[in-house]
Chains A and B, each alone.
Chain A
Amino acid sequence: MQITRRHLSLAAGMAAAVALTAGALIASTAQAAPATGTPAPAFSGLTSAGETISLADFAGKTVVMEWTNDGCPFVKKHYTTPPSNMQTLQKGAAANDVVWISVISSAEGEQGYADAARANELTASRGAAPAHLVLDAEGTIGKLYGAKTTPHMFIITPDGNLAYDGAIDSKASAKVADIGAATNYVTAALADLEAGKPVATPVTKPYGCAVKYK
């Protein structure tokens, strides 16, 4: 019986061999969205400095991930100088040994897409100070994390768990004037982690432009 079934399977296999070639062409891509309190998905990506970094490299440190698109008005709001909201957060993170990773998931040809040269130029012109700027034009990391908007912020604890997923602050708008009156969720979450407490507001609704995936 066992042998017969094997042979039958092989016969079927002949039929399928050609099919699979075509099937592989149209196989759909994976999609997984992590939950806070669970391990953050492992990723590796190429930075604008030409290095390949992966999440494992930062074990033992708090990591902030920021999805960005310089053409998006919501991103512009937080990079406008003054008050340089995002840049201030990035510099504060660096001072506290927190690793700040900006990610660009805009596909080539879409708003916000950057190759390494443009990305570095952007960092300079915006006065930004991320530890790394990851180029994710394929959208792999973005989809792995379920990044929906720019900005969309994630915070990962030193032991690799996702601690925060959501908006940068509480005022969903593209107006610079709203920054002052808003509660900054990232600042709050980092303060909680620093104090050794669980993050009080671990999940919020991110706001902004849709990530320009390909």
Chain B
Amino acid sequence: MIRVYRALVLALAGLGLFVPAVAAQASGDGRRAEAELISERTSVLPGETVFIALKMTMDQGWHIYWRNAGDAGLPPQLILKETAGIGEEALGEMMWPLPKLLPVVDGEIMDYGYDDEAVFALPLTVPADAAGEVRIEAVADYLICESVCIPETADVSLVLAVGEPEENVPAGDLIGAWIAKVPRSFEGEARIDDATAPWTLSLSLAGGFPEGAGVRFFPFEHEISHPADQPQRVGPNGASLLLTPDRAGQVGEALEGIIRVDAPGAEPVGYVIRAERGEVFAGTADAAFVPVAGAGEVAGLSWQGLLSLAGFAFLGGLILNLMPCVLPVLSMKALGMVSAAASGHAGELRSHGLWYTGGVLVSFAALALVILAVRQATGFATLGFQLQHAPTVAVLALIMFAVGLWLMGFFELGSSITNTGSSLAGRGGAMGAFFTGVLAAVVGAPCVGPFLGAALGAVMSQPAPAVVAVFLAMGFGMALPFLVLSFVPGLHRLLPKPGKWMDTLKQFFAFPMFLTAAWLLSVLADLAGAGAVGWTLAGATAIGFAVWIGRGAGPARRAAAIAALIAAFALPAVQANDPAASAGGEPSVPSYAEAAWSPAQVDALLAEGRPVFVDFTASWCASCQVNKLTTLDTKRVKAAFDAADVAFLVADFTQKDPVIADELKRRGRAGVPMYLWYPAGSREPQILPELLTQELVIGLVEGR
């Protein structure tokens, strides 16, 4: 193939055609990299030590490897020829600059190495008896890979004059710059706790690591799984990493390698560490850490990756329109359009659609910012967290209830919000449309978490702009149907004629809202106990009172209504926030659960040789409840579990739990549900789909 290529190039060149693009595909004589020996000096003194270097320039997309290549690949070598003018003792060890992660297959195969350019410096001790010139002849022997790998060799040589020292400034600068990238020795201390898997590598450093710095460990050997995530925790005295041992991975005397520290706005720095066994240093593992920009330069999503995530989020947003908590609000919007179309205001629909879209987008951007703030503050970034905060759940339940009352027609919010009928035109209508968008996003909030878990999981550890972009894509998806409806001329004419059915439909839609409120109350019961539920029901009563008393005219009545409304929301929120009231309620656990999940529990059960099924669940997670009803809590599945002596463990994420959050993140999930299946004798689990079926689970258990 290469030969054909070269023949083609030569033929074209022979025809007098200018083909730089084709010729540029392969360096020099068909190799994928150019290898060159360079020296900081053009002339040297006998007996002195100077730096020379192997300079590798790789073709676009091709890479070579670090001293530990990772799962596949081989490090480059410089082999002196027998004809070389110097003996092997004259050349010191090759110096390895800081490598980067080269993920080959996500979660399966990880390599360590270099692309574009890499310069490997070596100290050269000039023989004491050198005279005239020093000649170095060697072979650069390296494996270079793109998606395929090619072993290449290149003859390299260097001639240095012996005499008055003379610098080679450009080469010296280049070698110096690359020596600066060689990991230096770590100023702090490192320890490895390998008592249980995953191991904890604890790095103590006076003053801690720079703010926001991501840390990644690159081993010299293969004790750890190279592709596994290394969840990071931080504290005032340093950082710690959770390392997944390789299948046969054991720490010998010590675990040795380098750490790569990627601080925001700074060049990455490497440190050589030697971690002896010992306990985790205090103050190195206080809080989970989500890197702003990923360590090892891979956490940043490619454009394609970001686009496909945004695409999923967009689809998710579209589907969100059908959710029972969102549908009623949107239907009001649609009914407004029906009226507008009927009353001849079709032209106004456009600005309306835009305002509505704006409302949705602003709300989703706000949600993204809240999530980023939570991530910043706690290090957690799991979706559905809004349903772990009892006051938020109480307020959401009350909003659902109030929206239900409004749908029933117990009160009117005025034309500015419902924007029915002729008030569609004008500024009030525009603001109304905007707030309908906001309202749609707010009532959609409880559905967002459980719904888009896996899709948003990948984006959670990304830089802020990516998170915001994905949320905006979801918002745009949600707003699109109405935007289309308001922009495509004539489409609104397909809407049915307005009439009494609109009222009936509107009233009917109150029931999904009440059901959603009831579901939220059951979530609240698990989070904050029966007392909080009682207060929330009292709040609902207060809303009813406000509606009733607010119907009449007069400032006194109005004041009473407003006071009742404030009390309606404030009291339950305050009560739900009372930690003394929490920790009540039954956990969201199938009846035959054996024990609460913990990594140690899993290890213990596996050591007994039993298969283990782990259910990561939460009472606020709708998908979890569905799986429980349809699969996990059924007789067939229970019988299969019993027959195979499966240990069923439950990790209940109803309330925040950093250990569970770490495990979710380690497995690439943003939230629950997650189901892990450890067949008997295995150590690494299979991650099951979010949608379980009895056939799937029974098939796994019976080993089919």
Q: Do A and B bind each other?
A: yes
- Establish whether residues A42 and B703, one from each chain, have CB atoms under 8 Å apart when the complex forms: yes
Among B425-450, those with CB < 8 Å from A are 447, 450
B148 to chain A minimum Cβ distance, whole angstroms, is: 5
- Establish whether residues B147 and A212, one from each chain, have CB atoms under 8 Å apart when the complex forms: yes
Task: Give complex CA distance A203, B245 in Å.
Answer: 14
Q: B650-673 toward A: CB 8 Å interface, digit per residue (1/0)?
A: 000000000000000000100000
- CB contact between B622 and one of A16, A28, A35, A41 (< 8 Å): that residue: A16
Q: Tell whether B135 is near chain A: CB-to-CB under 8 Å.
A: no
Task: Give complex CA distance A8, B446 in Å.
Answer: 14
A contact residues around B222 at 8 Å (CB): 205
Task: Give complex CA distance A35, B590 in Å.
Answer: 31
Q: Tell whether A27 is near chain B: CB-to-CB under 8 Å.
A: yes
Task: Give complex CA distance A148, B225 in Å.
Answer: 11
Task: Give complex CA distance A203, B312 in Å.
Answer: 41
- CB contact between A31 and one of B149, B452, B687 (< 8 Å): that residue: B687
Looking at chain B's contact residues, the main secondary structure is mixed
- Establish whether residues A12 and B74, one from each chain, have CB atoms under 8 Å apart when the complex forms: no
A contact residues around B111 at 8 Å (CB): 210
A contact residues around B690 at 8 Å (CB): 20, 23-24, 27
Q: B662-704 toward A: CB 8 Å interface, digit per residue (1/0)?
A: 0000001000000001011111111111110000000000010
B contact residues around A197 at 8 Å (CB): none
Q: Tell whether A211 is near chain B: CB-to-CB under 8 Å.
A: yes
- The segment from B50-58, B101-109, B373-381 found at the interface with A is B101-109
Q: A14-52 toward B: CB 8 Å interface, digit per residue (1/0)?
A: 111111111110111111111110110110000000000
- Establish whether residues B450 and A19, one from each chain, have CB atoms under 8 Å apart when the complex forms: yes
Task: Give complex CA distance A143, B454 in Å.
Answer: 21
Q: A127-158 toward B: CB 8 Å interface, digit per residue (1/0)?
A: 00000000000000001001011000000000
Q: Tell whether A163 is near chain B: CB-to-CB under 8 Å.
A: no
Q: Tell whether A11 is near chain B: CB-to-CB under 8 Å.
A: yes
- Establish whether residues A210 and B451, one from each chain, have CB atoms under 8 Å apart when the complex forms: no
Interface size on A, residues (CB 8 A): 60
- Establish whether residues B522 and A8, one from each chain, have CB atoms under 8 Å apart when the complex forms: yes
A contact residues around B72 at 8 Å (CB): 148-149, 207-211
- The segment from B121-129, B320-328, B357-365, B539-547 found at the interface with A is B320-328
A contact residues around B628 at 8 Å (CB): 9
Q: A150-186 toward B: CB 8 Å interface, digit per residue (1/0)?
A: 0000000000000001000000111100000000000
Q: Tell whether B91 is near chain A: CB-to-CB under 8 Å.
A: no
Task: Give complex CA distance A38, B683 in Å.
Answer: 10
B contact residues around A10 at 8 Å (CB): 629
B contact residues around A209 at 8 Å (CB): 72, 145, 148-149
Task: Give complex CA distance A32, B108 in Å.
Answer: 10
Inter-chain contact total with CB atoms closer than 8 Å:
177
A139 to chain B minimum Cβ distance, whole angstroms, is: 8
B323 (CB) vs chain A CBs: closest residue: A15
- CB contact between B668 and one of A16, A22, A23, A28 (< 8 Å): that residue: A28
Among B448-489, those with CB < 8 Å from A are 450-455
Q: Tell whether B636 is near chain A: CB-to-CB under 8 Å.
A: no
With A18-B323, A20-B690 already in contact, the answer to whether A211 and B109 are too (CB < 8 A) is: yes
- Establish whether residues B622 and A15, one from each chain, have CB atoms under 8 Å apart when the complex forms: yes
Task: Give complex CA distance A108, B512 in Å.
Answer: 48
- Establish whether residues A27 and B149, one from each chain, have CB atoms under 8 Å apart when the complex forms: no
A contact residues around B684 at 8 Å (CB): 31-33
Task: Give complex CA distance A9, B620 in Å.
Answer: 10
With A19-B450, A23-B691, A71-B148 already in contact, the answer to whether A32 and B686 are too (CB < 8 A) is: yes
B667 (CB) vs chain A CBs: closest residue: A28
Task: Give complex CA distance A15, B519 in Å.
Answer: 11
Task: Give complex CA distance A41, B688 in Å.
Answer: 17
- Establish whether residues B324 and A146, one from each chain, have CB atoms under 8 Å apart when the complex forms: no
B478 to chain A minimum Cβ distance, whole angstroms, is: 13
Q: Tell whether B240 is near chain A: CB-to-CB under 8 Å.
A: no
- Establish whether residues B74 and A173, one from each chain, have CB atoms under 8 Å apart when the complex forms: yes
B643 to chain A minimum Cβ distance, whole angstroms, is: 18
Task: Give complex CA distance A24, B679 in Å.
Answer: 22
Q: Tell whether B423 is near chain A: CB-to-CB under 8 Å.
A: no
Q: Tell whether B150 is near chain A: CB-to-CB under 8 Å.
A: yes
- Establish whether residues B147 and A111, one from each chain, have CB atoms under 8 Å apart when the complex forms: yes
Q: Tell whether B151 is near chain A: CB-to-CB under 8 Å.
A: yes
Task: Give complex CA distance A202, B108 in Å.
Answer: 21
- Establish whether residues A148 and B109, one from each chain, have CB atoms under 8 Å apart when the complex forms: yes
A-B contact pairs, 13 of them (CB 8 A): A5-B522, A16-B451, A18-B323, A23-B454, A29-B687, A32-B686, A34-B247, A35-B683, A73-B151, A146-B247, A203-B247, A210-B71, A210-B109
Top 3 nearest A-B pairs by Cβ distance?
A30-B686, A27-B689, A203-B248
